[in-house]
Structure 1
Amino acid sequence: MNDVSPRVPGYTRHEYGDRIGATAKLRVGATAAVLDGDRLLLTRRSDNGEWCFPGGGIDPGERPAETAEREVFEETGLSVRVTGLLGVYSDPDVVVAYPDGNRVQILGILFRAEAVDGSAGCSAEVSEVGWFTAEEASRLTVIANHRRLLPSAFGDATPYFDRPST
Protein backbone atom coordinates (compact mmCIF):
# COMPACT_ATOMS: atom_id res chain seq x y z
CA MET A 1 0.00 0.00 0.00
CA ASN A 2 1.35 3.44 -0.84
CA ASP A 3 1.04 6.45 1.44
CA VAL A 4 -1.39 8.93 -0.09
CA SER A 5 -0.94 11.87 2.30
CA PRO A 6 0.07 15.21 0.73
CA ARG A 7 3.59 15.35 -0.74
CA VAL A 8 5.75 17.33 -3.05
CA PRO A 9 5.11 15.49 -6.38
CA GLY A 10 7.88 13.19 -7.59
CA TYR A 11 9.73 12.94 -4.31
CA THR A 12 10.25 10.58 -1.41
CA ARG A 13 7.19 8.59 -0.38
CA HIS A 14 6.34 5.78 2.03
CA GLU A 15 5.06 2.32 1.24
CA TYR A 16 3.16 0.28 3.82
CA GLY A 17 2.50 -3.43 4.07
CA ASP A 18 2.96 -6.44 6.29
CA ARG A 19 6.76 -6.95 6.54
CA ILE A 20 7.33 -4.91 3.34
CA GLY A 21 10.79 -4.10 4.73
CA ALA A 22 11.89 -7.57 3.59
CA THR A 23 11.66 -6.26 0.01
CA ALA A 24 14.03 -3.35 0.66
CA LYS A 25 17.55 -2.62 1.89
CA LEU A 26 18.20 -1.77 5.53
CA ARG A 27 19.63 1.72 6.15
CA VAL A 28 20.99 2.82 9.53
CA GLY A 29 20.59 6.43 10.58
CA ALA A 30 20.68 8.78 13.55
CA THR A 31 18.42 11.67 14.50
CA ALA A 32 18.41 14.31 17.21
CA ALA A 33 15.68 15.69 19.45
CA VAL A 34 16.76 19.22 20.37
CA LEU A 35 14.63 21.03 22.94
CA ASP A 36 14.53 24.72 23.82
CA GLY A 37 12.42 24.74 26.96
CA ASP A 38 9.22 22.94 26.00
CA ARG A 39 9.76 23.42 22.24
CA LEU A 40 11.24 20.78 19.95
CA LEU A 41 13.23 21.52 16.80
CA LEU A 42 11.66 19.94 13.73
CA THR A 43 12.62 20.40 10.10
CA ARG A 44 10.44 20.36 7.02
CA ARG A 45 11.98 18.12 4.37
CA SER A 46 12.44 19.72 0.97
CA ASP A 47 12.02 16.33 -0.74
CA ASN A 48 8.48 15.57 0.47
CA GLY A 49 7.22 18.52 2.51
CA GLU A 50 6.87 16.55 5.74
CA TRP A 51 8.27 17.40 9.17
CA CYS A 52 10.90 15.32 10.96
CA PHE A 53 13.76 15.28 13.42
CA PRO A 54 17.01 16.42 11.79
CA GLY A 55 19.14 13.39 10.98
CA GLY A 56 20.45 11.07 8.32
CA GLY A 57 22.51 8.06 7.42
CA ILE A 58 25.49 6.94 9.45
CA ASP A 59 28.72 7.09 7.43
CA PRO A 60 31.31 4.30 7.68
CA GLY A 61 33.79 5.07 10.46
CA GLU A 62 31.32 7.33 12.28
CA ARG A 63 29.68 6.88 15.67
CA PRO A 64 25.87 7.24 15.65
CA ALA A 65 26.03 10.23 18.04
CA GLU A 66 28.51 11.93 15.70
CA THR A 67 26.05 11.38 12.86
CA ALA A 68 23.26 13.07 14.79
CA GLU A 69 25.45 16.10 15.56
CA ARG A 70 26.75 16.33 11.98
CA GLU A 71 23.32 15.98 10.42
CA VAL A 72 21.75 18.69 12.61
CA PHE A 73 24.55 21.05 11.59
CA GLU A 74 24.41 20.13 7.88
CA GLU A 75 20.64 20.44 7.73
CA THR A 76 20.11 23.51 9.95
CA GLY A 77 23.44 25.22 10.72
CA LEU A 78 22.84 24.65 14.44
CA SER A 79 25.72 23.08 16.40
CA VAL A 80 24.52 20.57 18.98
CA ARG A 81 25.98 18.14 21.51
CA VAL A 82 24.36 14.75 22.06
CA THR A 83 23.50 14.23 25.73
CA GLY A 84 21.58 10.96 25.80
CA LEU A 85 19.82 8.13 24.03
CA LEU A 86 16.04 8.37 23.57
CA GLY A 87 15.30 5.33 21.49
CA VAL A 88 15.85 2.93 18.63
CA TYR A 89 13.26 2.55 15.91
CA SER A 90 12.57 0.44 12.85
CA ASP A 91 9.25 -0.60 11.40
CA PRO A 92 9.33 -3.60 9.04
CA ASP A 93 5.89 -2.51 7.77
CA VAL A 94 7.18 0.83 6.37
CA VAL A 95 9.55 1.37 3.44
CA VAL A 96 10.92 4.72 2.32
CA ALA A 97 10.87 4.87 -1.49
CA TYR A 98 13.19 7.43 -3.13
CA PRO A 99 12.74 8.92 -6.60
CA ASP A 100 15.90 7.13 -7.83
CA GLY A 101 14.25 3.75 -7.18
CA ASN A 102 16.04 2.95 -3.92
CA ARG A 103 13.77 1.50 -1.25
CA VAL A 104 14.89 1.21 2.36
CA GLN A 105 13.66 0.14 5.76
CA ILE A 106 15.10 2.61 8.26
CA LEU A 107 16.83 1.48 11.45
CA GLY A 108 17.20 4.72 13.38
CA ILE A 109 18.68 5.87 16.65
CA LEU A 110 17.12 8.91 18.33
CA PHE A 111 19.36 11.01 20.58
CA ARG A 112 18.66 13.91 22.92
CA ALA A 113 20.86 16.87 22.00
CA GLU A 114 21.37 20.39 23.27
CA ALA A 115 22.14 23.48 21.22
CA VAL A 116 25.74 24.65 21.53
CA ASP A 117 26.12 27.43 18.97
CA GLY A 118 24.28 29.13 16.15
CA SER A 119 20.65 29.18 15.17
CA ALA A 120 18.55 26.81 13.10
CA GLY A 121 17.94 27.72 9.48
CA CYS A 122 17.19 26.12 6.12
CA SER A 123 19.41 24.18 3.72
CA ALA A 124 19.10 22.21 0.48
CA GLU A 125 17.46 19.39 2.48
CA VAL A 126 15.32 21.59 4.73
CA SER A 127 12.71 24.05 3.44
CA GLU A 128 11.58 25.23 6.87
CA VAL A 129 12.55 24.88 10.55
CA GLY A 130 10.39 25.36 13.58
CA TRP A 131 10.33 24.99 17.34
CA PHE A 132 7.11 23.29 18.41
CA THR A 133 5.35 22.37 21.65
CA ALA A 134 4.00 18.82 21.94
CA GLU A 135 0.51 20.05 21.08
CA GLU A 136 1.73 21.96 18.02
CA ALA A 137 3.85 19.02 16.81
CA SER A 138 0.86 16.67 17.09
CA ARG A 139 -0.91 18.71 14.39
CA LEU A 140 1.97 18.55 11.88
CA THR A 141 2.42 16.03 9.09
CA VAL A 142 5.41 14.21 10.58
CA ILE A 143 7.11 11.43 8.58
CA ALA A 144 5.93 7.92 9.40
CA ASN A 145 9.11 6.80 11.16
CA HIS A 146 9.24 9.83 13.47
CA ARG A 147 5.64 10.51 14.58
CA ARG A 148 5.64 7.78 17.24
CA LEU A 149 8.93 9.15 18.67
CA LEU A 150 7.44 12.51 19.65
CA PRO A 151 6.44 11.46 23.22
CA SER A 152 10.03 10.32 23.93
CA ALA A 153 11.41 13.55 22.48
CA PHE A 154 9.14 15.61 24.73
CA GLY A 155 10.26 13.82 27.88
CA ASP A 156 8.54 10.44 28.22
CA ALA A 157 10.83 8.68 30.70
CA THR A 158 10.75 5.39 28.80
CA PRO A 159 13.20 4.99 25.91
CA TYR A 160 11.34 4.24 22.69
CA PHE A 161 11.69 0.97 20.82
CA ASP A 162 9.42 -0.84 18.37
CA ARG A 163 7.82 -3.59 20.39
CA PRO A 164 7.45 -6.96 18.67
CA SER A 165 3.88 -7.68 17.62
CA THR A 166 2.24 -10.43 19.63
Structure 2
Amino acid sequence: MDHTTQILPAVAAVIFNEAGEVLLQKRKDVEKWCVISGHVEFGETVEQAVLREIEEETGKKASIIRLIGVYSSPGSQTYFYREKTIQYVTTYFEAVLDSEIEKGFKNQETVELKYFHSDHIPADLALINPNWLKDALDRTVPAFVR
Protein backbone atom coordinates (compact mmCIF):
# COMPACT_ATOMS: atom_id res chain seq x y z
CA MET A 1 0.00 0.00 0.00
CA ASP A 2 1.29 3.48 -0.87
CA HIS A 3 2.11 5.90 1.92
CA THR A 4 0.42 9.20 1.11
CA THR A 5 1.07 12.71 2.34
CA GLN A 6 -1.59 15.36 2.77
CA ILE A 7 -2.04 18.85 4.11
CA LEU A 8 -5.39 19.48 5.80
CA PRO A 9 -7.17 22.28 7.68
CA ALA A 10 -7.72 21.83 11.41
CA VAL A 11 -8.95 23.88 14.35
CA ALA A 12 -8.12 24.09 18.04
CA ALA A 13 -9.55 26.03 20.96
CA VAL A 14 -8.25 27.08 24.32
CA ILE A 15 -10.93 27.56 26.96
CA PHE A 16 -10.25 29.20 30.32
CA ASN A 17 -12.46 29.12 33.40
CA GLU A 18 -13.05 32.10 35.71
CA ALA A 19 -9.94 31.13 37.74
CA GLY A 20 -7.77 31.34 34.61
CA GLU A 21 -7.28 27.58 34.39
CA VAL A 22 -7.19 25.94 30.97
CA LEU A 23 -9.58 23.19 29.91
CA LEU A 24 -7.92 20.07 28.56
CA GLN A 25 -9.51 17.00 27.06
CA LYS A 26 -8.12 13.52 27.59
CA ARG A 27 -8.67 12.18 24.10
CA LYS A 28 -9.92 8.63 23.58
CA ASP A 29 -7.96 8.12 20.34
CA VAL A 30 -4.46 8.80 21.76
CA GLU A 31 -5.15 8.63 25.53
CA LYS A 32 -3.36 11.97 26.03
CA TRP A 33 -4.37 15.44 27.16
CA CYS A 34 -4.90 18.16 24.56
CA VAL A 35 -6.80 21.36 23.91
CA ILE A 36 -10.09 20.85 22.09
CA SER A 37 -9.20 20.25 18.45
CA GLY A 38 -10.28 18.56 15.25
CA HIS A 39 -10.69 18.70 11.50
CA VAL A 40 -12.52 21.20 9.36
CA GLU A 41 -15.24 19.38 7.42
CA PHE A 42 -16.19 20.17 3.83
CA GLY A 43 -18.56 23.14 3.68
CA GLU A 44 -17.54 24.57 7.07
CA THR A 45 -15.73 27.74 7.98
CA VAL A 46 -12.98 27.45 10.60
CA GLU A 47 -15.27 29.24 13.05
CA GLN A 48 -18.09 26.74 12.48
CA ALA A 49 -15.62 23.85 12.75
CA VAL A 50 -14.17 24.93 16.09
CA LEU A 51 -17.63 25.52 17.59
CA ARG A 52 -18.76 22.07 16.36
CA GLU A 53 -15.64 20.42 17.80
CA ILE A 54 -16.16 22.12 21.16
CA GLU A 55 -19.76 20.90 21.29
CA GLU A 56 -18.81 17.37 20.19
CA GLU A 57 -16.01 17.08 22.74
CA THR A 58 -17.58 18.87 25.74
CA GLY A 59 -21.32 18.57 25.14
CA LYS A 60 -21.59 22.37 25.43
CA LYS A 61 -22.10 25.24 23.04
CA ALA A 62 -19.48 27.98 23.02
CA SER A 63 -18.64 31.40 21.66
CA ILE A 64 -15.40 32.49 20.05
CA ILE A 65 -13.57 35.25 21.89
CA ARG A 66 -10.61 35.77 19.55
CA LEU A 67 -8.26 34.29 17.00
CA ILE A 68 -4.97 33.32 18.65
CA GLY A 69 -3.14 32.28 15.50
CA VAL A 70 -2.52 29.98 12.58
CA TYR A 71 -0.05 27.12 13.02
CA SER A 72 1.51 25.25 10.11
CA SER A 73 5.04 24.40 11.30
CA PRO A 74 5.83 20.86 10.12
CA GLY A 75 7.60 20.14 13.42
CA SER A 76 4.46 20.47 15.53
CA GLN A 77 1.74 20.02 12.93
CA THR A 78 2.79 16.77 11.22
CA TYR A 79 1.15 13.54 12.33
CA PHE A 80 2.39 10.13 11.22
CA TYR A 81 -0.25 7.47 10.73
CA ARG A 82 0.17 3.91 9.49
CA GLU A 83 -0.75 4.64 5.86
CA LYS A 84 -0.38 8.40 5.64
CA THR A 85 1.41 11.47 6.93
CA ILE A 86 -0.64 14.62 7.42
CA GLN A 87 0.53 18.16 8.01
CA TYR A 88 -2.30 20.18 9.53
CA VAL A 89 -2.75 23.91 9.16
CA THR A 90 -4.45 24.69 12.46
CA THR A 91 -6.48 27.81 13.17
CA TYR A 92 -6.35 28.34 16.93
CA PHE A 93 -9.05 30.24 18.83
CA GLU A 94 -9.89 31.23 22.36
CA ALA A 95 -13.49 30.35 23.22
CA VAL A 96 -15.80 30.45 26.20
CA LEU A 97 -18.38 27.80 27.06
CA ASP A 98 -22.01 28.94 27.31
CA SER A 99 -22.51 26.77 30.42
CA GLU A 100 -20.53 24.57 32.79
CA ILE A 101 -19.49 21.04 31.84
CA GLU A 102 -21.31 18.27 33.66
CA LYS A 103 -19.16 16.53 36.26
CA GLY A 104 -17.82 13.23 34.91
CA PHE A 105 -18.65 14.09 31.26
CA LYS A 106 -17.30 11.58 28.73
CA ASN A 107 -18.30 10.40 25.29
CA GLN A 108 -16.93 8.57 22.21
CA GLU A 109 -14.12 11.16 21.82
CA THR A 110 -13.53 12.28 25.40
CA VAL A 111 -12.23 10.19 28.29
CA GLU A 112 -12.10 13.15 30.67
CA LEU A 113 -12.30 16.95 30.74
CA LYS A 114 -10.42 18.88 33.39
CA TYR A 115 -9.24 22.42 34.09
CA PHE A 116 -5.53 22.84 34.87
CA HIS A 117 -3.57 25.76 36.28
CA SER A 118 -1.00 26.92 33.71
CA ASP A 119 1.81 25.82 36.05
CA HIS A 120 0.41 22.28 36.32
CA ILE A 121 -0.21 21.23 32.71
CA PRO A 122 0.16 17.42 32.31
CA ALA A 123 3.42 16.24 30.77
CA ASP A 124 1.67 13.67 28.55
CA LEU A 125 0.19 16.12 26.04
CA ALA A 126 -0.77 15.04 22.56
CA LEU A 127 1.35 16.55 19.79
CA ILE A 128 0.71 20.28 19.90
CA ASN A 129 2.59 23.46 19.01
CA PRO A 130 5.06 24.19 21.83
CA ASN A 131 3.83 27.81 22.00
CA TRP A 132 0.14 26.96 22.47
CA LEU A 133 -0.19 28.16 26.06
CA LYS A 134 2.22 31.10 25.84
CA ASP A 135 0.40 32.37 22.75
CA ALA A 136 -3.03 31.95 24.38
CA LEU A 137 -1.91 33.92 27.42
CA ASP A 138 -0.32 36.72 25.34
CA ARG A 139 -2.97 39.31 24.52
CA THR A 140 -0.50 41.87 23.14
CA VAL A 141 -0.14 40.26 19.70
CA PRO A 142 -3.19 40.41 17.40
CA ALA A 143 -2.51 36.90 16.03
CA PHE A 144 0.44 34.55 15.76
CA VAL A 145 1.58 32.80 12.58
CA ARG A 146 3.78 29.83 13.44
CA contact (8 A) 2:9 2:88 kept: yes
Structure 1 residues without counterparts, runs of 5 or longer: 1-22
* Number of equivalent positions: 138
- Corresponding residue to 1:63 among 25, 40, 45: 45
1:141 is aligned to 2:124: yes
Give me the TM-score of the superposition, normalised by structure 2. Answer: 0.84
Q: Closer, same or farther in 2 for the Cα pair 1:80/1:146, shift >3 Å?
A: farther
Aligned-partner Cα distance in 2 for 1:79–1:118: 10
Aligned-partner Cα distance in 2 for 1:45–1:156: 28
Shift of 1:72: 0.8
Partner of 1:28: 9
Same amino acid, percent of matched pairs = 23
Structure 2 residues without counterparts, runs of 5 or longer: none
**Within 5 Å, which residues of 2 pair with 1:83-122?**
83-94=65-76, 95-99=78-82, 101-119=83-101, 121-122=105-106
Give me the TM-score of the superposition, normalised by structure 1. Answer: 0.74
Q: Deviations over 1:71-112 (max 9, x none)?
A: 01101112111121001111223521235x232011101111
Shift of 1:45: 1.3
RMSD of aligned Cα (Å): 1.9
Q: Closer, same or farther in 2 for the Cα pair 1:109/1:153, shift >3 Å?
A: same
Aligned-partner Cα distance in 2 for 1:156–1:143: 24
CA contact (8 A) 1:39 1:134 kept: yes
- Corresponding residue to 1:74 among 35, 44, 56: 56
**Higher RCO (CA < 8 A, seq sep 6+):** 2
